[in-house]
């Protein structure tokens, strides 16, 4: 069995409560062995000797910073000084010291060369912990620690027993059933459709009459009649039918309720990677042709479904750095967030589509050649919104022209995690069918793909798999839809 990652918690005694809170979280990770003095030191042991020994043997030092700790002379001169001296002997550019601020405070001069993380305010702690775990995972891989490192759960938004349902726009309820009240926009659409149909009938009659006269007086010609295919919508909910070309190819598009979808042709691709145990083995998968959204579903697109009383509004409005997001026209073309799996599924079905399978998502992201990212190899902030420091929140969809996939699909690395249809199974690839895999038939978690804006590069790889419970929602979680070729 591989050894766990050894993590030393360097702190002042006045910060013990918060340090103990984080220790409990780290201790629950099977691949991490956190070192906290009150837990590791035995009665009668020499405090200075054991601290020094632990620091010399540790893989990572988390330095907890607060106004109390940085001003405490003994704290700075003992554990911190020793930790920094040990750090000087480490390989350059490796993650060894992680400053973690517990409140707004200046960092000691010798720590200013390391990127710090803020474990405050309260509503940021979960994000800070996810980023901390990302850093520790990178360090663990440097040592070849090959535990099946658990994927991170995103917070679940659950209403309390006393919580009332949030008001929704344009809701009409009769006999406790939500009914669709036609909007002015729908009346306009129906009027336009009626006029078009009537015009086609009149034109058709005229054309048929002209053809009859010509056939009666002249011999037939060899000129072919060209037909235009039209799709009969199959969805139950009211939406604009999708339109498509009869013989699509790479680069072909389909319009579904004003949303552009890209064509992914039938064929094999290489799925999986050697980077994580749940991505093994690499295997060939054959998929039928399908379409997938060119962009992540936006606030404006999702709001159209809410307006006709089919979709529920997002569970919260504001993302990490913004107080008003959904419903704010400034962010209409940004990805919708705070939607759980059922909400995403409902929206896609309203459009006449569905959530993509995990295999469909991966092929659309990386093509057939097994590339690491949608564009190929290597990553930076010009290609994707990731790693927190690039942007620090969501970006407008389609902003990264250099980050497009081989099929013309955008934002499949970073920005927001994306729901897919599959249940998560860490061993699924070992037994999955070679043609059109649908994922496990049941499970506790749904699969997420693509990574998001606060995550480091390993999480935004096209083959990376993560998972959360279906009821989860977050400011880093969105989705896009798919449609089988009609």
107: pLDDT strictly greater than 80: no
Q: Could you tell me if 283 and 291 are in contact, meaning their C-beta atoms sit under 8 angstroms apart?
A: no
- Tens digit of pLDDT for each residue in 335-371? 999 999 999 999 999 999 999 999 999 999 999 999 9
Can you give the pLDDT at residue 243? 47
CATH of 5-142, one of 3.30.300.30, 3.40.50.10140, 3.40.50.300, 3.90.1300.10: 3.40.50.10140
* E strands present in 2-59: 5-10, 32-35
Which residues fall within 8 angstroms of residue 378, CB to CB, at 6 or more apart? none
Q: Tell me 39's DSSP state.
A: H
With 0-12 / 13-18 / 19 or more C-beta atoms within 10 angstroms meaning exposed / middle / buried, residue 121 is exposed
Q: Could you tell me if 170 and 181 are in contact, meaning their C-beta atoms sit under 8 angstroms apart?
A: yes
- Tens digit of pLDDT for each residue in 252-301? 899 988 999 999 999 999 999 999 899 999 999 999 999 999 999 999 99
Can you give the pLDDT at residue 183? 46
149: pLDDT strictly greater than 70: no
CATH of 253-484, one of 3.40.50.720, 3.90.1580.10, 3.40.50.1980, 3.40.50.150: 3.90.1580.10
Can you give the pLDDT at residue 117? 85
Between helices 299-307 and 341-350, what is the axis angle to 10°? Answer: 80
**For 225-232, what is the mean pLDDT?**
31
Can you give the pLDDT at residue 128? 84
239: pLDDT strictly greater than 50: no
Can you give the pLDDT at residue 225? 29
Can you give the pLDDT at residue 45? 87
Q: E strand or H helix at 147, and its extent?
A: none
Torsion over CA: 354, 231, 237, 254 (sign): positive
Residues of the chain with CATH 3.40.50.10140: 5-142
Of 83-92, 129-138, 148-157, 318-327, the one with minimum mean pLDDT is 148-157
Q: Could you tell me if 27 and 34 are in contact, meaning their C-beta atoms sit under 8 angstroms apart?
A: yes
Can you give the pLDDT at residue 200? 60
Secondary structure of residue 316 in the 3-state scheme: coil
Can you give the pLDDT at residue 145? 78
- Tens digit of pLDDT for each residue in 411-467? 999 999 999 999 999 999 999 999 999 999 999 999 999 999 988 898 999 999 999
Which tops the pLDDT comparison, 24 or 74?
Answer: 24
Of 138-142, 222-226, 264-268, the one with minimum mean pLDDT is 222-226
**For 223-235, what is the mean pLDDT?**
33
The most confident of the ranges 20-29, 213-222, 281-290 is: 281-290
Can you give the pLDDT at residue 87? 67
* Residue closest to 372 by CA, chosen among 267, 273, 262, 480: 273
Of 19-23, 90-94, 307-311, 395-399, the one with minimum mean pLDDT is 90-94
**For 1-6, what is the mean pLDDT?**
84
Can you give the pLDDT at residue 140? 84
Which tops the pLDDT comparison, 284 or 204?
Answer: 284
Can you give the pLDDT at residue 162? 39
Here the tokens at position 278 are 């749940």
Average pLDDT over the chain, rounded to an integer: 80
Can you give the pLDDT at residue 319? 67
Residues of the chain with CATH 3.90.1580.10: 253-484
Can you give the pLDDT at residue 486? 79
Can you give the pLDDT at residue 240? 44
Torsion over CA: 363, 367, 371, 374 (sign): negative
Cα separation of 139 and 74, whole Å? 29
409: pLDDT strictly greater than 70: yes
Of 106-120, 192-206, 327-341, 390-404, the one with minimum mean pLDDT is 192-206
Can you give the pLDDT at residue 380? 95
Which tops the pLDDT comparison, 454 or 198?
Answer: 454
Alpha-carbon distances of 222 from 193, 210, 213, 215, 437, rounded to whole Å = 34, 17, 17, 13, 46
């Amino acid at each position: 069995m591989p050894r766990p990652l050894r993590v030393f918690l360097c702190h002042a005694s006045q910060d013990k409560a918060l340090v103990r809170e984080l220790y409990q979280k780290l201790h629950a990770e099977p691949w991490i062995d956190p070192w906290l003095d009150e837990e590791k030191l035995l009665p009668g042991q020499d405090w200075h000797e054991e601290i020094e020994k632990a620091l010399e043997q540790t893989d990572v030092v988390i330095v907890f910073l607060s106004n109390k700790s940085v001003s405490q002379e003994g704290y700075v001169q003992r554990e911190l000084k020793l930790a920094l001296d040990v750090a000087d002997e480490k390989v350059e550019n490796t993650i060894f010291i992680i400053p973690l601020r517990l409140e707004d405070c200046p960092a000691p001069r010798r720590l200013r060369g390391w990127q710090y993380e803020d474990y405050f305010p309260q509503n940021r702690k979960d994000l800070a912990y996810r980023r901390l775990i990302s850093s520790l995972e990178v360090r663990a891989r440097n040592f070849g620690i090959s535990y099946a490192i658990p994927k991170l759960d995103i917070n679940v938004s659950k209403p309390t027993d006393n919580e009332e349902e949030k008001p929704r726009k344009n809701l009409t309820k009769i006999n406790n059933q939500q009914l669709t009240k036609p909007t002015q926009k729908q009346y306009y659409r129906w009027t336009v459709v009626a006029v078009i149909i009537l015009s086609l009938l009149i034109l058709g009659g005229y054309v048929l009459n002209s053809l009859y006269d010509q056939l009666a007086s002249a011999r037939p010609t060899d000129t072919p009649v060209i037909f235009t295919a039209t799709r009969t919508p199959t969805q139950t909910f009211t939406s604009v039918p999708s339109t498509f070309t009869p013989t699509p190819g790479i680069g072909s598009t389909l319009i579904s309720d004003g949303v552009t979808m890209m064509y992914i042709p039938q064929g094999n691709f290489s799925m999986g990677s050697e980077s994580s145990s749940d991505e093994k083995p690499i295997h060939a998968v054959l998929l039928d042709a399908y379409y997938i959204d060119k962009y992540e579903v936006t606030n404006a697109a999702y709001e159209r479904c809410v307006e006709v009383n089919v979709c529920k509004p997002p569970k919260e409005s504001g993302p990490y750095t913004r107080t008003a997001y959904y419903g704010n026209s400034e962010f209409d073309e940004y990805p919708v967030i705070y939607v759980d799996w059922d909400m995403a599924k409902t929206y896609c079905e309203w459009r006449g589509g569905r959530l993509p399978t995990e295999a469909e998502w991966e092929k659309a992201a990386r093509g057939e050649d097994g590339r690491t990212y949608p564009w190929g190899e290597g990553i930076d902030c010009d290609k994707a919104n990731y790693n927190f420091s690039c942007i620090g929140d969501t970006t407008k969809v389609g902003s990264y022209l250099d980050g497009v996939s081989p099929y013309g699909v955008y934002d499949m690395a970073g920005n927001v995690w994306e729901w897919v249809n599959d249940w998560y199974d860490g061993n699924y690839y070992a037994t999955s069918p070679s043609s059109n895999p649908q994922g496990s038939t049941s499970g506790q978690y749904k699969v997420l793909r693509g990574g998001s804006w606060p995550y480091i590069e390993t999480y935004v790889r096209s083959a990376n798999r993560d998972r959360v419970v279906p009821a989860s929602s977050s400011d880093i979680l969105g989705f896009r839809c798919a449609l089988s070729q009609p």
